[in-house]
Amino acid sequence: LYLHCLEEYEREGKATVSSRALAERGGSTPAQVRKDLSFFGSFGRRGIGYPVPALAQRIRGILGLDRRWRLVLVGAGRLGAALVGYRGLAERGFDFVAAYDADPARIGTRIEELTVRDVADLDADLAAGGADIGVIGTPAEAAQAIADRLVRGGVRTVLNFASVKLVLPPEVTVTNVDMTLELETLSYALARRRSD
């Protein structure tokens, strides 16, 4: 989040920014900003603030955004296609190198520069040339089996859009994006409002 704010300031041409300014943009507090940033080192100058481009570059390094990562998509439905087509990801260093599906109607179709491959090829492909991040866009029922195959193929990081908690070894990092859950949270906010 700090990086996103810093990049805004970069575009505005600001040379330095104070913890107070960062906090206002990021929805935080000045003390919180200073504590968070100090975890990784002393980037600011007293009396001046934080140097915008240098700190942005530093955070990019910390986050590993100074290199490119190889992504494979499994489940090339509309959501998957939306992701592959999203230019913002390539700009940030995330390259989709393959897309897979189990549906014969989808296999062979093109999404941007990728041709959708048969999910049966997944294991062999992973063995041939690895991937850094596996993106799961399959229905919930298929997600766990696909995740297991990704991990067996050497993938240690998974972005999961299926609405199930994946059970994977602890060395695998999983991030879940579950629209159902998000909407249920909003539903709770709406329900609260009505009864108050």
Partner DNA sequence: GAGTGTGAAATTGTTCACAGCG
Partner DNA sequence: CGCTGTGAACAATTTCACACTC
* 138 lies in the binding site for DNA (CB under 7 A): no
- Cβ 25 to DNA shortest distance, Å: 13
* Cα→Cα distances 105→71, 79, 94, 109, Å: 23, 16, 27, 8
Residue 34, contacted partner among a second copy, DNA, none, CB below 5-8 A by kind:
DNA
DSSP secondary structure letter of residue 196: -
Cα-Cα-Cα-Cα dihedral sign, residues 178, 183, 188, 193? positive
Quick check: helix, strand or coil at residue 163? coil
Q: Which among 9-17, 81-89, 113-121, 143-151 is the span making contact with a second copy, rule CB under 8 A?
A: 81-89
| Torsions phi, psi for 7 (to 5 deg) | -65, -35
Of the residues 31, 35, 54, 64, which one makes contact with a second copy according to CB under 8 A = 64
Site for DNA in 30-59 (CB under 7 A): 30-32, 34-35, 37-38, 42-50
Residue 159, contacted partner among DNA, a second copy, none, CB below 5-8 A by kind:
a second copy
x/- mask, DNA, residues 4-23, rule CB under 7 A, reads --------------xxx---
Q: Please, are residues 93 and 68 in contact by the beta-carbon 8 Å criterion?
A: yes
* Cα→Cα distances 152→119, 130, 135, Å: 14, 11, 15
* 141 lies in the binding site for a second copy (CB under 8 A): no
| Torsions phi, psi for 96 (to 5 deg) | -75, 120
In residues, how long is the chain? 196
As beta bridge partners, residue 99 has 73
* Footprint of DNA (CB under 7 A): 18-20, 28-32, 34-35, 37-38, 42-50
Positions in the binding site for a second copy (CB under 8 A)? 1, 3-4, 25-27, 62-65, 69, 77-79, 81-83, 85-86, 88-89, 92-94, 132-133, 156-157, 159, 163, 165, 173, 175, 177, 179-194
